[in-house]
Amino acid sequence: MIKVEHLVKTFGTTHAVDDISFEVNEGENMVLLGTSGCGKTTTLKMLNRLIEPDSGTIAIDGKNILDQPAENLRRGIGYVLQNNGLFPHYTVAENIAIVPNLLKWDKAKTQKRVEELLEKLHLDKNYLNVYPNELSGGQQQRIGLARALVADPLVLLMDEPFGALDNVTRSKIHGEFLALDELKRKTIIMVTHDVQEAFELADRIALMDKGKIVQIGSPADLLFNPVNDFVRDFLKEQHLQLEFKTIKLSDVWEYLPDAGKKINTSLVPASSGVWEALENFKFYPRENINVLNQENKEVKSITFDQLMAAFSKFKNHQSHE
């Protein structure tokens, strides 16, 4: 869907982006991860020509992005900014309708679409006529997302989209983000410096340093097969937590006992990470939880200790492989 080849951008003597190439598949969620100054934001902004590259090519859907006027290109790409960038002099409805108005949609169509998005993002209709400064940070960020999604673009670029939010709001929005059906069809490139966020939201991660991509791969690849010490060190601090998030219940399925009594409580799907299952124990430390394996419709009821034991068996087995 997106193909980047030999992209170079220099600011003065600094090599902000130094000959990088990568591809993003349709519907994939690619996260550009790295510390500030690694070139991830510059890379992102070259995709919608907010920054023009010195050399290299970018093709979206097989077409070189230089082949059409920048304005037309941008109207077809959603863009979400860290500080939301909502127009303070536009109401919520006007803010969301910016791109439809640029594309000269008729009023009824725009209004219908705006209301639809608002509902999907769990925002009350009454917010339509208020100004952004009357909303909370989380609400503003949702409006920013709605604005990017309104014209149903194939590609969505997100620059630290949740960076300005507090932790509680952020994890809540992460959940909504993963659940939003509109986003499932989109090819997304997201920039973040937050390792947790990258692991939670990414299909693949491109870890960048000094203008180059150090490693590109799935979260598990980065975690379990780091190409060098830089990658290993980058993930070291939160390694255990990342493992909990990366390893799914289905991965440890074979190590889980099948002895527990099946109480009639809610089921945790086996596609969830170990982390999610652990979070369920937070509320019921002494009790069992029920895990459903969608493939064979099997249900296992497990305790906290059993899950931890299965996790370490899986890890042991992996390192001996």
Stretch of 82-90, 179-187, 228-236, 251-259 contacting another protein, by CB under 8 A: 82-90
Q: What is the DSSP letter of 266?
A: P
165 near another protein, judged by CB under 8 A: no
Rounded-to-integer distance, Cα 209 and Cα 271, Å = 32
Q: At closest approach, how far in Å is the CB of 144 from another protein?
A: 8
The pair of three-digit structure tokens given for residue 129, joined into one six-digit string: 């006529």
Binding to another protein by CB under 8 A, coded x per residue (else -) over 120-159, reads -----------x---------------x---------x--
Q: Are 150 and 100 in contact (CB under 8 A)?
A: yes
Rounded-to-integer distance, Cα 37 and Cα 29, Å = 22
85 near another protein, judged by CB under 8 A: yes
Q: Whose structure tokens read 């996790």?
A: 311
Interface residue with another protein among 14, 35, 55, 72 (CB under 8 A) is 72
Q: At closest approach, how far in Å is the CB of 106 from another protein?
A: 18
Q: Is 132 helix (H, G, I), strand (E, B) or coil?
A: helix
Q: Are 178 and 201 in contact (CB under 8 A)?
A: yes
Q: Which amino acid is at 54?
A: D
Burial class (CB in 10 A: 0-12, 13-18, 19+), 145: buried
Which residue lies nearer to another protein by CB, 76 or 217?
76
For residue 269, the tally of other CB atoms under 10 A from its CB is: 14
99 near another protein, judged by CB under 8 A: yes
Output 291-297 pairs: Cβ under 8 A, ≥24 positions apart.
291/249, 291/256, 291/267, 292/267, 292/268, 293/250, 293/253, 294/269, 294/270, 295/250, 295/270
Q: At closest approach, how far in Å is the CB of 297 from another protein?
A: 46
Which residue lies nearer to another protein by CB, 98 or 267?
98
Q: Which amino acid is at 210?
A: K
Which residue lies nearer to another protein by CB, 150 or 242?
150
Q: How many residues bind another protein (CB under 8 A)?
A: 25
Which residue lies nearer to another protein by CB, 14 or 83?
83
98 near another protein, judged by CB under 8 A: yes
Q: What is the DSSP letter of 214?
A: E
Which residue lies nearer to another protein by CB, 84 or 246?
84
Which residue lies nearer to another protein by CB, 56 or 85?
85
Q: What is the DSSP letter of 224?
A: H
Stretch of 80-88, 180-188, 211-219, 247-255 contacting another protein, by CB under 8 A: 80-88
314 near another protein, judged by CB under 8 A: no
Rounded-to-integer distance, Cα 84 and Cα 98, Å = 14
In terms of DSSP bridges, do strands 77-80 and 155-159 run parallel, antiparallel, or are they unpaired?
A: parallel
102 near another protein, judged by CB under 8 A: yes
Q: At closest approach, how far in Å is the CB of 93 from another protein?
A: 13
Binding site for another protein (CB under 8 A): 48, 50, 71-76, 79, 81-90, 98-99, 102, 131, 147, 157
